[in-house]
Structure 1
């Protein structure tokens, strides 16, 4: 992506709805404590499935402020996005009622769209799968919205009063990073003044669990859900499915400083690449992820020895963990061995398209608190994953620059660099 007009883009508001607690305070406390939010699936009976664990959000839509009509209209993923966007807007302190709505945009990432709603509605219209010719009259009135993920951006735009550019980014498990990268470019090129950007996914449904069961990507460690997600550990045997949402308020550094806003971080660099190799497979050398990292760092104008923390994709599959380790070494050289790395998926699971934004929220909060969140459940490191993966316990240290990466089915590899805006003045 180009640098546009060169306008610097910063984060001034964060909202998070994730496993283990709603809101940025609860979310950060979970990570800082190294606690896990993985458990046996409760949203449906998981007994027929190979993997029966997930990281669920304890979400009460009514208590979160949604009206009965909103709850009826929106799939769970859309509900999470709207509630989270409202938190981000409130956190930013921006007087949205005074903004030009045509200069306020929305970009929402999602890998699987309204999976839960579609799953539930198919069961209803097919009478539990018994009807080959389904009866559409039993479907909810807003079923069309479930089939078009663009409805997520529309719902968030309506919730915040945004009438500018609105889109959904769906690039698999890098959607949450790519939505931020796209929104940043919109601001850099001057097409908007404020962007509400992030991602949402609520994929914990029978169809999703069955799909990952079929390729044996998720863990069968059902007897110990709390310790089932084990990125970079020699005993890992698959990822733990999750759900959630993270949304940011992005604006130019100039406007944020002019109004005296609290700035969490600058989105200093972003790049994405495709491996053009395999739908689910990864090259062991990590070449494409390394290239995304290199370009993002070049755009941010930071060197490898200036990266203070790496928020890894860290899904907890052998293929990913080894690929990612190779990518860090390839792109960062000897500095890779000196930089603390961690995977928060060990605590909040893998929420597919949403997780990139959730991990960026963790990265920004790590900078805010100068704490590296740990990789939970990492007791026996894989010998091929020989970097500093911050096992078990959070670590206090100064953090001015963070690299966050993602890897997704389809061959997507993305990287974002967050930096303290005043780093060049220090």
Structure 2
């Protein structure tokens, strides 16, 4: 007898971002198409950023007040805990008085980690007032361990960074553990709280930060006007995944996870042809049967940089062809680049699109040609990071 096909199902998801703090607020923000940027003074210079909404900030403060131990944690950890609890509740996994679940693993990543606490503790160090909590609360490992505490997860606890591909790499790892039979359930995702003086300064030092402060669209992927418009945002998204041999209508499946890498040719690690993207997209597509390789929409990485955006679009054309261009969109023109959380927030957007069957296109002048499908059933999500790596995930609606 043929063994039943095993599917990776997203049982629940949670997010907190400049768009909102739950499915309804995020859906409303996407429907409005209003960017979530504001202008701050960074080292005396007007600088655009995308920060949490006031309502989302209140939700995060309520979480902070719910546990005295949370007051020592970095903002990135708190956002991960918030999103993970939301995903766990949606999946029906979170029971407050339940014993620790040894079959539930956690893999949460971040590009920069505890940026806020690092800067605070370093300032304390300069004044010879360093706290004993400095090391345990800034280690990258505390991301997944605090999430595990919050959701009663007793399985593997993995924290990692592969820069801006981090969240999709976490998903890939969770999928691998499930398929290997090393876990029955996994929470995967990414979080980032990069709106700090030093982190913003690092991005400006690369020479890609947007100078469009006060503009309604400071971050402009695919823009006709050739300029760098990289803009930082913050947020987190987490997904509850498990393996099943049966499907229900409306289930969201992780069909494929592809990886790509190219040797460094620049400080950001991407070639003009987007070789890493070509590899990751082809790797993902190779995991599908020929009849299932129709991708209806690609949510691109495109952070609003001249070189990066152009390279990814070139890679898409190389993989999918120019004769029948695939539909393309992104959410970075609304929330900026959230670094290690960006792939997770793109995944959250993809689930929203699959459920709502619509997406909002940028309203500034851009190079994309509108492509409409009667039904959006399969979406590819791309991410890439410093160092030459890229990831592509394909999710579909059952």
Using the size of structure 1 for normalisation, the TM-score is: 0.85
Q: Which residue of 2 aligns with 1:291?
A: 279
Q: For the Cα contact (< 8 Å) 1:370–1:396, is it kept in 2? A: no
**Alpha-carbon offset, residue 32 of structure 1:** 2.5
- State how many pairs are aligned: 388
Q: Which residue of 1 aligns with 2:83?
A: 84
**Alpha-carbon offset, residue 364 of structure 1:** 1.2
Q: Distance in 1 between matches of 2:68 and 2:142?
A: 15
Q: Does 1:230 align with 2:220?
A: yes
Structure 1 unmatched ranges of 5 or more? 128-134, 382-386, 422-426
Q: For the Cα contact (< 8 Å) 1:371–1:397, is it kept in 2? A: no
Q: Which residue of 1 aligns with 2:42?
A: 46
**Alpha-carbon offset, residue 304 of structure 1:** 8.3
**Alpha-carbon offset, residue 47 of structure 1:** 4.2
**1:14 counterpart SS class:** strand
**1:145 counterpart SS class:** helix
Of residues 341, 362, 366, the one that matches 1:354 is 341
Q: Does 1:201 align with 2:192?
A: yes
How large is the RMSD of aligned CA atoms in angstroms? 2.3
**Alpha-carbon offset, residue 216 of structure 1:** 1.2
**Alpha-carbon offset, residue 251 of structure 1:** 0.8
Q: Does 1:419 align with 2:390?
A: no
* Structure 2 CA distance for partners of 1:84 and 1:380, relative to 1, 3 Å: closer
Q: Distance in 1 between matches of 2:223 and 2:29?
A: 21
The aligned runs of 1:12-23 (5 Å cut-off) are: 12-23=11-22
Q: Distance in 2 between matches of 1:213 and 1:186?
A: 38
**Deviations 1:92-131 (CA, angstroms, capped at 9, x unpaired):** 123656687111100002100001111122223324xxxx
Q: Distance in 1 between matches of 2:137 and 2:277?
A: 32
Deviates more, 1:347-356 or 1:227-236: 227-236
**1:307 counterpart SS class:** coil
**Alpha-carbon offset, residue 292 of structure 1:** 0.8
**Alpha-carbon offset, residue 72 of structure 1:** 1.7
Q: Distance in 2 between matches of 1:68 and 1:243?
A: 23
Q: Which residue of 1 aligns with 2:114?
A: 114
Q: Distance in 2 between matches of 1:296 and 1:305?
A: 9
**2:35 counterpart SS class:** coil
Q: Which residue of 1 aligns with 2:364?
A: 378
**Alpha-carbon offset, residue 336 of structure 1:** 5.3
**Alpha-carbon offset, residue 15 of structure 1:** 0.2
**1:299 counterpart SS class:** coil
**Alpha-carbon offset, residue 78 of structure 1:** 0.1
Q: For the Cα contact (< 8 Å) 1:40–1:53, is it kept in 2? A: yes
Q: For the Cα contact (< 8 Å) 2:278–2:316, is it kept in 1? A: yes
